[in-house]
Amino acid sequence: MAHARLVQLAIAVPAAIGAALAAGAPALAYGGDTTPPTAPFLAYAQGYYCGVLIVGMNRATDNVTPQSQLTYEVFIDGAPFGPAVDQGSESGVWAWFQPSTGGPTLTPGQHTATVKARDAAGNWSAPSRSWPVTGYRC
């Protein structure tokens, strides 16, 4: 008859790593990645009638996260506006914000658009170059 033995195992974890794990630090899941992606190159931004905004950029790169897994956020006047989605197209990453379909509205007037990339560890790139955009009323 086989006998089961209970073996107790202790793993020593340095205090800094244990504290980071307890805090849910995402960088540890990616080998301690603390290097941000390169800033995306904002190539196009234009405001349209009724608060529509279209933004296009070249992809960023990262030292750990594959390019297809980077995420992008559009900022208007320094505030988060909405995500840009990489569709895997050779033409880069595009975002089309249309208020009539529930998207955010580019308010009338002059604004500045920038974009940042984020890697899987949660590191944000520097902002892209800024691009002036105009919001138009309906």
Look at residue 52 in the predicted model and tell me its pLDDT. Answer: 95
- Show the 3-state SS of 79-136: EEEEEEECCCCCCCEEEEECHHHCCCCCCCEEEEEEEEEECCCCCECCCCCCEEEEEC
Ramachandran angles phi, psi of 47, nearest 5°: -90, 145
DSSP state for residue 51 in the 8-state scheme: G
| Percent with pLDDT over 70 in the chain | 78
Q: What is the CATH number of domain 34-135?
A: 2.60.40.10
> Which residues lie closer than 8 Å to 68 by C-beta, 6 or more apart?
86, 88
Look at residue 2 in the predicted model and tell me its pLDDT. Answer: 53
Look at residue 30 in the predicted model and tell me its pLDDT. Answer: 58
Look at residue 56 in the predicted model and tell me its pLDDT. Answer: 94
DSSP state for residue 64 in the 8-state scheme: S
| pLDDT, tens only, 123-136 | 999 999 999 999 99
Element holding 15 (H helix, E strand):
helix 15-23
Look at residue 90 in the predicted model and tell me its pLDDT. Answer: 75
One-letter amino acid at 16 equals A
Pair of tokens at residue 89? 């197209």
| pLDDT, tens only, 12-25 | 444 444 444 444 44
58 SS3 class: strand
Task: Give strand pairing partners of 132.
Answer: 112
* pLDDT, mean over the chain: 82
| pLDDT, tens only, 14-65 | 444 444 444 444 544 556 889 999 999 999 999 999 999 999 999 999 999 9
| pLDDT, tens only, 82-135 | 999 887 777 789 999 998 888 899 999 999 999 999 999 999 999 999 999 999
Look at residue 127 in the predicted model and tell me its pLDDT. Answer: 96
CB neighbours (10 Å) of residue 27?
17
Cβ(99)–Cβ(47) below 8 Å: no
